[in-house]
Amino acid sequence: EVQLLESGGDLVQPGGSLRLSCAAAGFTFTSSAMSWVRQAPGKGLEWVSSITGSGDSTYYVDSVKGRFTISRDNFVNTLYLQMNSLRAEDTAVYYCARLVASIVPYGAFDIWGRGAMVTVSS
């Protein structure tokens, strides 16, 4: 079964750090570009970051650049998002998604996880 399963969501104080994980199954992870997309409570979708299948290239929305780091471990089929210097405006459900793209990060997201809630609050 094709599946993405996020973990690591939590309540964290402003300025704190958190690492999200996304375990993939049922498709060839090593050849799949992957992404994180977030959704603030009651709001729309926002692309956050993407990474190529090899992990050689990464891309970020301006609002998280320098604070978030996307990475992957193709030996254990897992995607990560390290989030540092967290702000209240980072509060959202974070979805892991497979990116279908000829040129990363320009593509559509065809497989989604259920999401992990990150709350930044004191």
Partner 1 sequence: EIVMTLSPAALSVSPGERATLSCRASQTISNDLAWYQQKPGQAPRLLIYGASTRATGIPARFSGSGSGTEFTLTISSLQSEDFAVYYCQQYDKWPPLFGGGSRVEIK
| Interface residues toward partner 1, by CB under 8 A | 37, 44-47, 50, 61-62, 95, 100-101, 105-110, 112-115
Q: State the minimum distance, in angstroms, from the CB of residue 87 to partner 1.
A: 19
Q: State the minimum distance, in angstroms, from the CB of residue 37 to partner 1.
A: 8
Going 13 to 46 to 9 to 21, the CA torsion angle's sign is negative
Q: State the minimum distance, in angstroms, from the CB of residue 13 to partner 1.
A: 27
Residue 80, Cα to own-chain centre: how many angstroms? 7
103 versus 122: smaller Cβ distance to partner 1 = 103
**Cross-sheet strand order for the sheet of 78-83:** 3-7, 18-25, 78-83, 68-73
